[in-house]
A and B are shown apart, each in its own frame.
Chain A
Amino acid sequence: MADPIILHPDTEFIRDVTRGGGADMKKCFQCATCSSTCGLSTENRPFPRKQIVEAQWGMTDRLIGDPAIWLCHNCGDCTTRCPRGAHPAETLSAIRCAVIRRLAFPRFMGGVFAIPESAVAMLAFSAILLLSIALLPAPSPGSSPLVFAQMFPKTRLEPFFFAVSGWVVLALTVGAVRFAGALRRGGAEGPILSNLVPALMEIVSHRRFAECGAQQGRRWGHLLVFSAFVGLAAMGTTVGIGSMLGLMDTPIPFLNPLKLFANLCALVLVTGAAVLVWNRLKDRQARAGAVFSDWFLLILIGGAGLTGLLSEALRLTQLRAAMFFIYYTHLTLVLTLFLGAPYSKFVHFLYRTMAMAATRQESSSSGWPITRRRQSPATS
């Protein structure tokens, strides 16, 4: 028989979950309606009932290494069905936030997006950082037409962003190593690396979203944001490296295929973010249950896309008054997104992928232990 679990509730964890959107988790009385609703629940793994009781009891170790919380696509069906208003979906979001916080490197950065105060501080930090780059005495050739490089010389900005990227990659790597260790301790045995490709294919397909009953619109919103993000990331890296190596010169002409593609991605990104925002606003329950950090990330992403497009438009129209300010805003949002990536909901791209890779089952037809399709509450 396995050793007993000694229960020492982690009150910090409980507080994080409570503040991060799980304020109603204590209402759960373990009826398991959520588990009978959720397709992720199997006979031996009553999801998310078990995760809720573990969160109630502050069982941090078990939750950190639990891949199931990442397999959840936050469809919200459990919250719709919960007879006690315990909001399991929102609690799971909060659990994920609290887990992200505990996997964070360095740890003190973990809670940066959990509450508005530190999130705003992070924004301000990014703004000041960028401002200091802009204000450093620089050879600013008064060229015409106006280009952003007059404010942020490429010779500073590009190395700066590469340094930041390096830092972010380091932080993500440490988080990933920690998470992999936790998954192993938690009993998930799938070979993460060799399963990465099928896991990514599954993610790209967005099939899981299709099974969400309560919030169908999220699938398209997420798909748009996700695709655009991948496109922009690839584009940004290419252009950044190209520019650094002197192979490309920015700004790239508007009709350059790369530029056209980047603009298309930005439009898609803004549209996707708008769809996600609209979904939340139109659905009273989703609106009420949404957590600050979720909103903040959405605003960062949408805002970065919007200000990016706007900056380009202003540059093309040479509106001097607004152009530098909007670009500055754009860079601030992008930098915050970058710096915050290992600590915000954003990092789910990493942990979810790892969790899916670690739980992939060759035997299951879907590749993952999804037992059955849920009925949409609207049709039951």
Chain B
Amino acid sequence: MTGRMGVYLCSGCGIGDAVSLEGLAKLATTELKAAVCRTHPFLCGDEGLALIREDLASGAIEAPVIAACSPRVKTDRFCFPPGEAPERVNLREQVAWCHAPNDDDTQMLAEDSLRMAVARLGKLSPSQPLAEAVSRKILVVGGGITGITAALEGAAAGYEVLLVEKEAQLGGFLGGVKKLYPTGTPYTQEEQGGLAEKIRAVSANPRVTVLCSTRVVQTEGQPGMFDVTLENRHCSTHRVGAIVMATGWRAYDPTRLGALGYGLPDVVTNVEIEKMAAAGTIVRPSDGRAVRSVLFLQCAGSRDPEHLNYCSSVCCMTTLKQIGYFREQDADCQVFVLYRDMVTPGPYEMYYQKVQNHPLNFFMKGGVTGVRRDDEGRLLVSADSSLIGARIELVVDLVVLATGMVPNSADNEALLSLREAKKSLERNPTDKQRQEAVAVVEQLGSLEGSQVLNLAYRQGPDLPILRDGFPDSHFVCFPYETRRTGIYAAGAVRAPMDAALAGGDAAGAMLKAIQSIQLATRGQAVHPRVGDDSYPIFSLQRCTQCKRCTVECPFGAIDEDEKGTPKLNPYRCRRCGICMGACPERIISFHNYSVDMIAAMVKAIEVPDETEEKPRVLIFACENDAYPALDQAGARRATYDASVRIVPLRCLGSMNIVWIADALSRGMDGVLLLGCRFGDDYQCHFIRGSELANRRLENVKDTLERLQLEPERVQMVQLAIDNYDSIPALIDDFAARIRALGPNPYKGF
């Protein structure tokens, strides 16, 4: 953008009391060559906005720079034309509210902020939104309660739905269940669950196409234009705009529970009991005799690092329900439950109380130490009991293992390794390569065919998993979102849950799928940069096929050709800029975000010379957490060192280390990177951005060595949005350390 620019200064909210607006106006009209510069005491008011609109309408300016509050606020007021965000200078939260008023340093910060905004504006290119045809059809994979509910919700919202089920009929796990535990008041009566009605409704719905005995053979393309190949005797290809993955769960493999007696006659799982109950009377499998006493072992293979690490949340309630099966058969049957904790949250507690109240239902907290069969063919269960403070033994006719849920997902990373190993074997490998590849194939070969969606993606054939096999993308912040844009997980494949919760999950994921289609139609990004119409543009003539972008993109947006040249699927892109940070050739840029643009902002900062003793600390702040935290610190009037110059980044992962080199070689004294927490409990909105930034900092160390600078001049800190209280100490300490190191020797070069 090189057109006429106008600077609008707001003196409201205390800005005019802390900063000399005359000084800023002088800077704007002289050095920054603003065509217009106006000051108003209430810029976001109708009168103030009218000033800007008039200048735009008269052609006096082409683009406004608003120097007022944080760009995170009043976005509904400052938009010219409607929907377009103008350049903003954060004079309120990050200058006037957190630094000494009418102070030289504060004024210099305000001036540099204005310089950076103008520099950024100068590097903007016009937007060219994506505008391909988008399918409004939604594929739902899995015809259990979640998939059926999702299909009905999608149809109710006016969307065509393709519901695919691999079995011969709809219903999923619930199809084989005798009764459901209560999910509504008074929470004491078992339910039928209404599955049959839902199956009828979905089968009769004109907007829903149901395909049973069908598998997904391949999923190609991107949101708005997935081409899905389905196999049902023969193959057919369908174009859909988004996908809801509702493939449910399977029982944890009980053969791994030999320590709890599985494998002995009359030791069965809760899933097996459910089938026996649905088929008729439950008897001892070994001799067909009536069950006079039964013991349920809770948490069988759950909440155990050697088995399932998590609580499946349904086994306790299922046990309470299944106790009723035995009670119905025999009023005098003695039912024992050995538990670690009974998990019956919320009103489910009422059902627990009801079942617990029966005099012949016995509950005992304890850890099982052994299950064996005595001479009479009965089962002897021994346990440590923390309730009566002694080891206990129980002799029963039947033992039921309350096993947990395993998501019906695929291990994308393992499948990718397997694929790479197989490819390597085909390509005349060296002996060492061959050995490694054969080892991988031996180890992972059993996973072949476990993929569900068969994604034709460079990063693997299925959804990456967050942990424990669940293909979520963030534990807390983004439910339903997987790391494959346009594909949303719902129900027990996303997290362990019961049928009641799965219904809500289905609706949530379906709404996400609809959002994704709507945004794709407008060529815009989904969460967290909703509405962003930019996308990465590759200057491929300079590409060295290093594949860093195709490997590091957290969302698998970039495929590659045989040679390794990246091929972007822009609708898969979430606009984080991690590819931009990854590219060593710096060939990736967005129309409104680029290496050049940030470099220009860094260059716009005035660096006082050594004699002035005014250090400069550059802060790259993640716009998702760190930048709002800085705003919050300002809003709470926390004060901190005014030597900082804050540049917001889409994600710390988009940081290109050339900016750090630029800043240091221009004489800035320190660089502080504020990003989200990474690791197992990462908070990064783009999964791995902050982690990648941290890794790239290793390279910065080399740069610093080359420049003969202290490595302490560059530091990365993990900062969450609610850590605003720690900001003053964090910044002041860093600034103090930088002052102690003395000025950057490159000042003035």
Contact = CB atoms under 8 A, between A and B. Distances in A.
Given A14-B359, A27-B356, A53 B392 contact: no
Interface string A1-43: 1111111110100110010000000110110000000000000
A10 B71 CA distance: 73
B334 A29 contact: no
A26 B364 contact: no
Contacts of A30: 365, 387
Given A9-B362, A14-B359, A29 B342 contact: yes
B391 A1 contact: yes
A26 B391 contact: no
Interface in A39-66: 50, 53-54, 56-57, 59
B394 interface: yes
Q: Which of B361, B388, B393 has the most CB of A within 10 A?
A: B388
A319 to B, nearest CB: 52
B59 interface: no
Q: Which of A14, A26, A30, A54 has the most CB of B within 10 A?
A: A26
Nearest to A17: B359
A56 B395 contact: no
B360 interface: yes
B382 A50 contact: no
Contacts of A5: 388, 390-393
Nearest to A57: B362
Nearest to A49: B387
B128 interface: no
A4 B356 contact: no
Contacts of B74: none
A58 B394 CA distance: 13
B390 A53 contact: no
B364 A53 contact: yes
A29 B356 contact: yes
A147 to B, nearest CB: 54
B356 A11 contact: no
Contacts of B363: 29, 56
B389 interface: yes
Nearest to B383: A4
Contacts of A11: 334, 359-360
A316 B210 CA distance: 99
B358 interface: yes
Interface in B361-416: 361-365, 382, 387-395
A215 B479 CA distance: 53
B391 A2 contact: yes
Contacts, number: 62
B357 interface: yes
B544 interface: no
Contacts of B353: 27, 84
Nearest to A52: B387
Nearest to B362: A57
Given A4-B382, A9-B334, A26 B390 contact: no
Contacts of A8: 395
Interface in A246-270: none
Nearest to B357: A26
Contacts of A15: 359
A1 B389 CA distance: 12
Q: Which of A15, A18, A27, A57 has the most CB of B within 10 A?
A: A57
Q: Which of A7, A8, A11, A57 has the most CB of B within 10 A?
A: A7
Contacts of A29: 342, 356, 363
Nearest to B389: A50
B391 A50 contact: no
Given A4-B382, A53-B364, A54-B388, A26 B393 contact: no
Contacts of B359: 11, 14-15, 18, 26
A6 B393 contact: yes
Interface in B623-679: none
Nearest to B332: A11
Nearest to A4: B391
Nearest to A15: B359
A7 B392 contact: yes
A4 B392 contact: yes
Contacts of A3: 391
A26 B387 contact: no
A4 B387 contact: no
Nearest to A28: B356
A1 B391 CA distance: 9
B296 to A, nearest CB: 14
Nearest to B384: A4
A276 B314 CA distance: 49
A50 B388 contact: yes
A4 B394 CA distance: 10
Contact of A26 (B358, B365, B388, B392): B358
Contacts of B362: 7, 9, 56-57
Nearest to B352: A29
Contacts of A7: 336, 362, 364, 392-394
A77 to B, nearest CB: 22
A227 to B, nearest CB: 39
Nearest to A23: B357
Contacts of B389: 50
A54 B362 CA distance: 11
B338 to A, nearest CB: 10
B559 to A, nearest CB: 55
A57 B364 contact: yes
A7 B365 CA distance: 14
Given A11-B359, A29-B356, A4 B364 contact: no
Contacts of A6: 392-395
Interface in B444-496: none
Contacts of B364: 7, 53, 57
A57 B359 CA distance: 9
Contacts of A4: 382, 390-393
Contacts of B391: 1-5
Contacts of B395: 6, 8
Contacts of A18: 359
Contacts of B394: 6-7
Interface of A: 1-9, 11, 14-15, 18, 26-27, 29-30, 50, 53-54, 56-57, 59, 84
8 contacts: A6-B395, A9-B334, A26-B356, A26-B361, A27-B357, A29-B363, A54-B388, A84-B353
Identify the 5 closest CB pairs spanning chains A and B, nearest first: A4-B391, A26-B357, A4-B393, A6-B393, A53-B387
Given A2-B391, A53-B387, 11 more contacts: A4-B390, A4-B392, A5-B390, A6-B393, A8-B395, A11-B334, A11-B360, A30-B365, A50-B387, A56-B362, A56-B363
